[in-house]
């Protein structure tokens, strides 16, 4: 596999046209296509606190503003705060009885009382700095900093909600009056609504009173003419920078944004999430993490590296020269447990690429119509909303090859992966007699092969030499999504591979 | 469980105000934004951190926007963007490309159910529960003024000038370099920090003295540690005068407001002058409001305003909450009402027209031909 952290020189084109190393790609087993993070649908799966690893359901997360109930961040440096315990000696009150003998033996008659405070181990900030009293329990009710404008905001919000609803009702009333009755003979009494109320009164019902929202009122803000002038000490007193908060600290508590550090309060820790990824085309999950926050495993993990043969660049003849034939050695490996037949072919031309993009778009549309027809009997909301789904346009591959690669004359077999074979010294690789000339060596599930390529004649020093090819491989799908076909099916899949061979030297 | 969640509980709309430097984000009907974060995007292919609006091609901008929203939803909001309602607070004169790209990314990539654009200046009024005000928005790259009368934006009186944080940063840099600080120390972040922590707007009397060239006892200097072991001295003069660029000849805040008033019709001027409201990150600096008021009262005495405007009082509203998220707060109010259902651009509408209906577009803004 390509190195995870270092940028790889071998890139695979996703079906949407974006290049990525194989380690960043996924493989949808139902569409049999390579997918990347850009063309998959991301979803929030599990919310949890990264400190206490507690799983928090979505309703609770919404209530707590997606913050953890028990963990806090340092307002100074945004590290996690730890709860520290101290014991304070409290003199026992004289009136208190000492029922236990052990206590009675204590001559000084003091009681050790445990109390807790929050401290940051990174910047030494503690909750005592800002005058938060120590708590008796570890999960103490740490005081929340009240937001002064909360009630004012609520009243304004309610006012506007009422205004909007009132407008809506008035509009409906207008419409009701405006629309003419569909009767052939218009009745004047009916129009005024007089009829209804008269009938109601005759029957003895109370008058129909439409629930009208009482006109909401709010006191509008008053503009001020007098402001607090700058304090005189501003011009004379020395400012201690250590007492002034930085912008990050202020934005850490957006409601208050204090100017001085003595108003920094511990902030509840923001939650983390696990994502699940879903194929936009077939709506199947590609990645689904395990529910438990402590686990780093997956329930569904369709990484491309488990399904698509990987390509390495082993060596390349140097120096590269424009227009001169070069040789390089590539290594392919088969991650699956079935033998693969590999054919190296030319990349699609630009026209073909456009065609592929059109096909992709069409396949999306087809999928949606099939979804809609299949769900016409049971009209569920999800498929209904899919009707108007619009999706990302596929793109052309951003990299262009700058070398002409000689294709291999025939296809070859890539042996399946066998973990036990690596430890089996006796089992010699059966030497294939009529091995192709381009194959350098073969070991378990790996094959090294020679490829020849000519960098384009118009390249100048410093230009990158990029070769590209389409790799066709046979893939045995063991999990079939159609129930009637039980036996594994064989597919011939292709993926576009781009390899950066290096630069033309100066 | 997910079905239950979506059917039984309403998903609160997401409110965004994407500024040039800082983005304010939170949920509708909440009294404060959840986060204020820098408007930077981590490019997923190269892992480079880039400012969202620092793009060369439209496609690059689109990718930056997608990466930015991806970060917002999965790192901050922690909700799936699919089928969620979005409120975006932005200026009515926001470039079309920005608006189009945001909408395209939200509908095409994130499959949100609707997008509601709230005009920034108008949304400020809702936080005050008033219908008439002259809104001054002081952002990073520019300051804008837009009078609103009875809930209607007077667009012909719109004013924009280089009255933002950018010009103040420049001034701080200029003064510090004059006093011999090497340029490579003064990154944008350091300048911002110096501005926010040490500078203030001085009083009108002292500013007058400074303008006349009289010597004033400046506030004390400050030793400011830049890197480990490097300490620069921030002169008291800088602390006091950095914000003077907002009242200089080139870009003058009070004249911008007065200009805007002259474009308004004569009947509304008095009321607007008594309902000023100043929002935006730059408006949070100490001493700005009293100074602005004194400057306005001073400028009104002289030509050309003395003849045109017969005003004698200027009153300024106090914003609820901090001035840098006041317009976001307006978005939160708008998103909390029924308007989110009636006025939003829905996915269905967007799939038909593939663009954002806009007031400047005649196709959307013409009376239907009868």
The answer to whether position B138 is within a domain reads yes
For residue A233, give how far its alpha carbon lies from the nearest alpha carbon of chain B (Å). Answer: 9
Are B186 and B239 part of one and the same domain?
Answer: yes
Residues of chain A with pLDDT > 70, as a percent, come to 80
The answer to whether B197 contacts A244, with C-beta atoms less than 8 Å apart, is yes
The answer to whether position B230 is within a domain reads yes
pLDDT at position B22: 95
The answer to whether position B363 is within a domain reads no
Q: Would you give the DSSP letter of residue A271?
A: P
Rg of chain A on CA atoms, in Å = 36
Per-residue pLDDT tens digits for A393-437: 778 787 888 888 888 878 888 888 887 766 766 555 555 556 778
pLDDT at position A196: 67
How far from each other are the two terminal CA atoms of chain B, in whole angstroms?
51
Q: Region A111-134: what's the mean pLDDT?
A: 88
Q: Which of residues 55-74 of A touch B (CB under 8 A)?
A: 58-59, 61-62, 65-66
Residues of B in contact with A160 (CB under 8 A): 126, 333-334, 336-337
Which of helix, strand or coil describes residue B170?
helix
Considering only CB atoms, A246 lies closest to which of B113, B197, B324, namely B197
Does residue B74 carry a pLDDT above 90?
A: yes
pLDDT at position A367: 55
> Which region among A221-235, B247-261, B270-284 has the lowest average model confidence (pLDDT)?
A221-235
Strand order of the β-sheet with B345-346 is B35-38, B22-27, B14-18, B85-90, B114-119, B345-346
Are B199 and B64 part of one and the same domain?
Answer: no
Rg of chain B on CA atoms, in Å = 22
Last residue of a domain, one of B246, B262, B282: B246
pLDDT at position B154: 93
Are B236 and B261 part of one and the same domain?
Answer: no
In chain B the beta strands, taken as DSSP E runs, fall at 14-18, 22-27, 35-38, 40-42, 49-51, 85-90, 114-119, 133-138, 143-149, 152-153, 159-161, 222-227, 230-234, 276-279, 345-346
Does residue A2 carry a pLDDT above 50?
A: no
The answer to whether A227 contacts B316, with C-beta atoms less than 8 Å apart, is yes
pLDDT at position A102: 46
Name, in order, each residue with C-beta under 8 angstroms of A71's C-beta and a sequence gap of 6 or more: A49, A51, A52, A80, A81, A268, A269
Are B154 and B303 part of one and the same domain?
Answer: yes
Considering its fold, how many domains does chain B have in total? 3
Q: A197: how many CB neighbours lie within 10 A of its CB?
A: 13
The answer to whether position B361 is within a domain reads no
For residue B79, give how far its alpha carbon lies from the nearest alpha carbon of chain A (Å). Answer: 6
Q: How far apart are CA A387 and CA A383, in angstroms?
A: 7
B192 in A contact zone (CB under 8 Å): yes
Q: How far apart are CA A38 and CA A26, in angstroms?
A: 11
pLDDT at position A248: 92
Are B158 and B255 part of one and the same domain?
Answer: yes
Partners of residue A412 on adjacent β-strands: A342
Per-residue pLDDT tens digits for A91-108: 665 554 444 444 444 555
Q: How far apart are CA A414 and CA A309, in angstroms?
A: 9
Are B193 and B302 part of one and the same domain?
Answer: no
pLDDT at position A422: 67
Are B189 and B62 part of one and the same domain?
Answer: no
Are B145 and B108 part of one and the same domain?
Answer: no
Residue B273 token pair = 């002058």
In a 10 Å sphere around its CB, with 0-12 CB exposed, 13-18 middle and 19+ buried, how is residue B19 labelled? Answer: buried
Please check whether residue A24 is in contact with residue A4, taking contact to mean a CB–CB distance below 8 angstroms.
no
Residue A70 token pair = 């028990």
Per-residue pLDDT tens digits for B222-274: 999 988 788 999 999 999 999 999 998 888 899 999 999 999 999 999 999 99
Count of positions (residues) in chain B: 370
Closest residue in chain B to residue A253, using alpha carbons only: B35
Residue A377: pLDDT band (50, 70, 90) is very low
ipTM for this prediction: 0.90
Per-residue pLDDT tens digits for A301-310: 999 999 999 9
Are B98 and B183 part of one and the same domain?
Answer: no
Greater model confidence, B160 or A280: B160
For residue B319, give how far its alpha carbon lies from the nearest alpha carbon of chain A (Å). Answer: 9
pLDDT at position B3: 45
The answer to whether position B29 is within a domain reads yes
The answer to whether position B368 is within a domain reads no
Are B24 and B68 part of one and the same domain?
Answer: yes
Q: Residue B189: which domain range?
A: 165-246
Which CATH number covers residue B200? 3.90.640
The answer to whether position B344 is within a domain reads yes
Are B142 and B282 part of one and the same domain?
Answer: yes
Are B141 and B259 part of one and the same domain?
Answer: yes
Please check whether residue B322 is in contact with residue B281, taking contact to mean a CB–CB distance below 8 angstroms.
no
Per-residue pLDDT tens digits for A307-342: 999 998 998 888 888 888 889 999 999 998 888 899
Residue B32: pLDDT band (50, 70, 90) is very high
Which CATH number covers residue B344? 3.30.420.40
Name the nearest CA neighbour of B248 among B301, B211, B276: B211
The answer to whether position B23 is within a domain reads yes
């Amino acid at each position: 596999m390509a190195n995870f952290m270092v940028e790889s020189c071998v890139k695979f084109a996703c079906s949407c046209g974006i290049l990525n190393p194989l380690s960043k790609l996924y493989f949808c087993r139902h569409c049999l296509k390579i997918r990347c993070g850009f063309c998959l649908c991301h979803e929030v799966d599990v919310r949890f606190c990264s400190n206490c690893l507690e799983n928090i359901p979505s309703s609770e997360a919404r209530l707590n503003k997606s913050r953890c109930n028990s963990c806090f961040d340092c307002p100074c440096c945004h590290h996690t705060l730890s709860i520290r315990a101290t014991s304070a000696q409290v003199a026992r009150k004289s009136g208190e009885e000492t029922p236990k003998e052990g206590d009675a033996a204590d001559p000084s008659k003091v009681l050790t009382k445990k109390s807790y405070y929050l401290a940051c181990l990174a910047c030494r900030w503690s909750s005592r700095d800002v005058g938060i009293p120590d708590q008796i329990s570890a999960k103490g009710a740490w005081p929340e900093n009240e937001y002064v404008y909360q009630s004012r905001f609520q009243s304004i919000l309610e006012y506007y909600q009422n205004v909007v609803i009132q407008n809506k009702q008035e509009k409906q009333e207008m419409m009701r009056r405006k629309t003419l009755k569909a009767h052939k003979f218009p009745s004047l009494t009916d129009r005024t609504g007089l009829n209804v109320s008269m009938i109601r009164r005759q029957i003895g019902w109370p008058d129909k009173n439409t629930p009208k929202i009482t006109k909401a009122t709010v006191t509008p803000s008053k503009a001020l003419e007098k402001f607090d002038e700058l304090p005189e000490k501003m011009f004379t007193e020395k400012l201690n920078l250590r007492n002034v908060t930085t912008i990050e600290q202020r934005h850490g508590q957006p409601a208050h944004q204090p100017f001085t550090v003595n108003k920094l309060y511990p902030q509840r820790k923001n939650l983390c999430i696990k994502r699940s990824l879903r194929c936009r085309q077939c709506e199947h999950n590609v990645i689904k993490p395990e529910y438990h926050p402590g686990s780093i495993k997956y329930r569904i993990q369709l990484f491309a590296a488990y399904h698509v043969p990987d390509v390495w660049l082993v060596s390349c003849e140097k120096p590269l020269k424009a227009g001169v034939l070069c040789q390089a050695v590539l290594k392919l490996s088969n991650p699956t447990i079935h033998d693969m037949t590999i054919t190296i072919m030319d990349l699609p031309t630009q026209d073909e690429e456009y065609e592929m993009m059109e096909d992709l778009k069409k396949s999306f549309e087809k999928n949606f119509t099939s979804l809609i027809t299949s769900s016409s009997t049971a009209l569920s909301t999800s498929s209904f909303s899919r009707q108007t789904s619009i999706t990302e346009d596929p793109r052309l591959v951003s990299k262009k090859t700058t070398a002409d690669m000689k294709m291999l004359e025939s296809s070859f077999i890539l042996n399946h992966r066998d973990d036990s074979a690596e430890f089996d010294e006796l089992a010699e690789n059966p030497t294939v007699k009529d091995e192709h000339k381009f194959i350098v060596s073969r070991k378990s599930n790996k094959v090294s092969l020679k490829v020849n390529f000519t960098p384009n004649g118009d390249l100048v020093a410093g230009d990158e030499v990029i070769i590209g090819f389409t790799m066709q491989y046979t893939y045995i799908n063991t999990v079939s999504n159609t129930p009637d076909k039980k036996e594994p099916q064989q597919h011939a899949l292709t993926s576009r591979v781009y390899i950066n061979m290096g630069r033309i030297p100066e | 469980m997910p079905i239950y969640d979506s059917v039984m509980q309403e998903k609160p709309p997401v409110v965004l105000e994407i500024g040039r430097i800082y983005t304010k984000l939170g949920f509708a009907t909440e009294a404060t934004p959840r986060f204020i974060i820098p408007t930077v995007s981590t490019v997923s292919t190269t892992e480079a951190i880039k400012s969202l609006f620092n793009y060369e091609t439209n496609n690059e901008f689109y990718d930056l926007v997608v990466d930015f929203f991806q970060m917002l939803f999965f790192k901050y909001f922690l909700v799936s963007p699919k089928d969620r309602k979005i409120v975006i607070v932005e200026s009515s004169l926001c470039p079309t490309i920005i608006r189009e790209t945001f909408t395209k990314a939200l509908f095409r990539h994130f499959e949100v159910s609707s997008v509601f654009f709230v005009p920034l200046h108008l949304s400020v009024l809702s936080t005050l529960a008033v219908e008439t005000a002259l809104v001054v928005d002081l952002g990073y790259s520019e300051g804008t003024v837009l009078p609103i009368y009875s809930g209607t934006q007077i667009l012909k009186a719109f004013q924009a000038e280089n009255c933002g944080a950018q010009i103040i940063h420049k001034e701080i840099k200029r003064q510090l370099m004059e006093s011999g600080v090497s340029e490579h120390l003064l990154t944008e972040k350091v300048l911002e920090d110096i501005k926010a922590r040490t500078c203030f707007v001085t009083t009108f009397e002292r500013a007058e003295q400074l303008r006349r060239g009289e010597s004033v006892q400046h506030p004390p200097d400050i030793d400011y540690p830049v890197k480990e072991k490097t300490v620069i001295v921030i002169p008291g003069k800088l602390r006091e005068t950095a914000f003077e660029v907002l009242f200089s000849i080139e870009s003058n805040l009070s004249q911008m407001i007065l200009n805007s008033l002259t474009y308004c019709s004569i009947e509304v001027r008095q009321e607007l002058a008594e309902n000023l409201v100043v929002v935006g990150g730059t408006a949070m600096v100490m001493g700005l409001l009293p100074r602005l008021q004194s400057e306005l009262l001073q400028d009104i005495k002289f030509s050309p305003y003395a003849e045109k405007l017969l005003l004698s009082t200027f009153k300024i509203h106090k914003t609820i909450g901090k001035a840098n998220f006041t317009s976001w707060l307006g978005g939160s109010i708008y998103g909390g009402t029924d308007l989110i259902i009636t006025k939003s651009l829905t996915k269905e509408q967007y799939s038909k027209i593939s663009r954002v209906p806009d007031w400047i577009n005649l196709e959307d803004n013409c009376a239907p031909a009868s």
